[in-house]
Chains A and B, each alone.
Chain A
Amino acid sequence: MTRIFAWIALIFGCVYFLLPLIGMAEFSLKMRRGVYSFDAYRKVFEDPTFWATFGYSLTLAAATIVVGVLLVVPTAYWVRLRLPKARPYIEFITLLPLVIPAIVVVFGYIRMFNTSSILPLTGSAIGTDFLLTMGYTTLALPYMYRSVDTGLRTIDVATLTEAAQTLGAGWITIMARIILPNVMIAVLSGAFLTLAIVMGEFTMAALLNRPAFGPYMQLLGANRAYEPPALAVIAFAITWGCMGLMQLVTRLAKHERAKA
């Protein structure tokens, strides 16, 4: 009896989740009348704006990951090593981006860093890019911090630090050559999630008026019929790829630990 209900629940879920995926894939192949073709994809790949926005978002994702790692790894390390008391406060701050909607944060940016403020970041393209990177870093913060902190839990931070100090290592050496390699798996898993978030992000980029992939997709969706589902398939593939890589590194890590 339970098993029948279980199968019904599962099959219902599968149908609901697979239909839109099939729908978008099928629609994206229908550009040429009467036959299935990859015309929509060719159109997308021939569009220079596609490559420009895709490259822009990819660059921002890389910058976000670098800033996120430089910010989160030393902070999480320091909290574990010296300031366990600060832990609840830091954790609370890292969870704030889940509470404050992204649209509110970016609204605050626009008003706080506008051209008439003391820090007029939105006045120049490079300044706005910087601001957008910071915005993405806050979006990724809850996932990055949690991932790195869990990674640090599995190593003996205090002993490693003392051993390195005894051998004459400075803080930068300790961070770059002891701590970072030890939490590399956690960092990578946070990085792939960050990549998935940044590539599809729409609100912040649109409101800061930057040529990112999300606003490009939205614009195309408002004006074309067959290219949008093709873009959706591409976006889904990116998300799937990021999650797959995340699983892969975690699994590899378990494998290594089992061997050791």
Chain B
Amino acid sequence: MIRRSKGTMDRLPLDWLGLLPFAIFALLFLILPTLKIVLGAFQGPDGGLTLQNMIDLNTASIRSAYWTSIKLSVITALLGGGIGFAMAAAVVFGGLPKRIRSPLLTFSGVASNFAGVPLAFAFIATLGPVGLVTIWLKTNFGINLRMMGFNLLSFWGLVITYLFFQIPLMILIITPALDGLKREWREAASVLGATGAQYWRMVALPILFPSLLGTFALLFANAFGAVATAFALTGPQLNIVPIKLFAQIRGDVLGNPNLGYALAFGMILITAAANTVYIVLRIRSERWLK
């Protein structure tokens, strides 16, 4: 009590001292390592500042890696977002039994965390060359997936696999937003003579738009940074940015350590851009959903 009445002069710094452990942790194990990468991206082998690494990124192989990664992330975010939205809307508005909701959300929590190496195994056992579905289609319907050009270890195989954690993540994030749509809005719209489609187009979707776009950004970043699933599925040869970076860190495959920094810096730029969109839109959408 006596200490407190001493006045604000020495109280302020003492209060901030309480955050010191957290600040040291964040600096040492999160912020400084990242800064090291960012700085390294602009340094030459001699340590001097240069833009050469950025220029060196502009090779056919690295350009195509970024392009494939961005395509993969956009497509899985769009498909995952769309399907996840449909499933969440089905449970919230579709008149399905109430009992379905809680198991679906629990399952989504499990599935969105069931990523990485085991997920790749599950899909190989299902859609791989001797997988359950592949064999079933071949013996019962004479459909040969491989002859039709489908290969699990390809871009579209990766898309199908990534959806296993993208869809549940969408369900988890969008269900509360759908719950936030007030019944009164729908009633007001129908009193004024709006059809169901008009309600969605002119009331619900504009309100949901920021959270939809924001979740899209989060799903994008989620797919863009994923390493383990792709690595376990296809090994080190698939040309996407995280796999390329993984190989570079393990064995300097690019033949220039600073080019690795630049590759990583590019990843930070892209996920940071996606997440800035997410955070800004989230703040905007929360205004309506309170």
Chain A positions near chain B (C-beta within 8 angstroms): 2-3, 5-7, 9-10, 12-13, 16-17, 19-24, 26-28, 71, 74-75, 78-79, 82-83, 86, 90, 93, 95-112, 134-135, 137-138, 193, 196-197, 200-203, 206-207, 214, 217-218, 221-222, 228-229, 231-232, 235-236, 239-240, 242-244, 246-247
CB distance from B170 to the nearest CB of A (A): 11
In the complex, the answer to whether A23 meets B95 with C-beta atoms within 8 Å is no
B125 touches A28 (CB 8 A): yes
Closest to A228 in B: B121
26 contacts between A and B (CB under 8 A): A5-B94, A9-B89, A10-B96, A16-B164, A20-B127, A22-B126, A23-B123, A24-B122, A75-B22, A78-B18, A86-B16, A100-B272, A101-B267, A103-B246, A105-B34, A111-B33, A111-B40, A137-B25, A200-B114, A200-B228, A203-B246, A221-B121, A229-B124, A236-B114, A240-B110, A246-B109
> Is B22 within 8 A of A235, CB to CB?
no
**A214–B119 CA distance with the chains assembled, in angstroms:** 12
**Interface presence of B117 (CB below 8 A):** yes
> Any chain A CB within 8 A of the CB of B78?
no
Tell me the smallest distance from the CB of B277 to a CB of chain A, in Å: 11
CA distance A38 to B150 in the complex (A): 31
What residues of B have a CB within 8 angstroms of the CB of A75 in the complex?
Answer: 18-19, 21-22
Main DSSP-derived SS at the A contact region: helix
B118→A217 contact, CB < 8 A: yes
In chain B, residues 179-218, which have Cβ atoms closer than 8 Å to a Cβ of chain A?
Answer: 196, 218
User: Bound state CA distance, A71 and B94, in angstroms?
Assistant: 44
Query: Cβ of B33 and Cβ of A108 under 8 Å apart?
Result: yes
> Do B225 and A101 touch across chains, with their CB atoms under 8 A apart?
yes
Q: Quick check: A218 and B90 within 8 Å, CB to CB?
A: no
CB of B49 closer than 8 Å to a CB of A: no
B87 near A13 with CB under 8 A, answer: yes
Q: A110-B249, A200-B115 are in contact. Are A218 and B232 (CB under 8 A)?
A: yes
Interface size class of B (residues with CB under 8 A): 35 or more
Residues on B with C-beta less than 8 A from A96 are 26, 30-31
Distance in Å from the Cβ of A137 to the closest Cβ of chain B? 7
Q: In the complex, which residues of chain B have a beta carbon less than 8 angstroms from the beta carbon of A246?
A: 109
Q: Are B133 and A23 in contact (CB under 8 A)?
A: yes
Report yes or no: B30 in contact with A100, Cβ–Cβ below 8 A: yes
List residues of B (74-88) whose CB comes within 8 Å of A's CBs.
83, 86-87
Closest beta carbon of chain B to A133's beta carbon, Å = 10
Bound complex: CA of A68 vs CA of B226, how far in Å? 23
Given known pairs A27-B131, A135-B29, A137-B29, the reply for A107 and B116 (CB within 8 Å) is: no
Are B250 and A90 interface neighbours, CB within 8 A?
no
Q: Which positions 235-282 of chain B face chain A at CB distance < 8 Å? A: 235, 242, 245-246, 249-250, 260, 264, 267-268, 271-272, 275, 279
Q: How far is the CA of A206 from the CA of B246 in the complex (A)?
A: 9
Mark contacts of B27-62 with chain A using CB atoms, 8 A cut-off: 1 yes-contact digit, 0 otherwise.
Answer: 011111111110010000000000000000000000
Q: Is B120 an interface residue (CB 8 A)?
A: yes
Which of the residues B123, B272, B275 comes within 8 Å of A20, measured between beta carbons? B123
For B155, list chain A residues within 8 Å (CB). none
Interface status of B93 (Cβ within 8 A of chain A) = yes
Name the residue of chain A whose CB is nearest to the CB of B110: A243
Q: How far is the CB of A23 from chain B (nearest CB, A)?
A: 3
B275–A239 touching, CB < 8 Å? no
CA distance A86 to B15 in the complex (A): 11
Given known contacts A101-B225, A111-B36, A207 and B26 CB-to-CB distance under 8 angstroms: no
Contact at B87–A239, with CB atoms within 8 Å? no
- Which B residues are CB-close (under 8 A) to A7? 90, 94, 96
Contact present for A221 and B164 (CB under 8 Å): no
CA distance A57 to B253 in the complex (A): 29
Contacts of A22 in B (CB 8 A): 126, 132
Report A152 CB to chain B, min CB distance, Å: 14
Kindly state whether residue B113 has any CB partner on chain A within 8 Å.
yes
Does B153 interact with chain A (Cβ within 8 Å)?
A: no
**Residues 119 to 150 of chain B near chain A (Cβ within 8 Å):** 119-127, 131-133
Asked if B121 and A3 sit within 8 Å, CB to CB, the answer is: no
**Roughly how many angstroms separate A94 CA and B116 CA in the complex, as a whole number?**
23
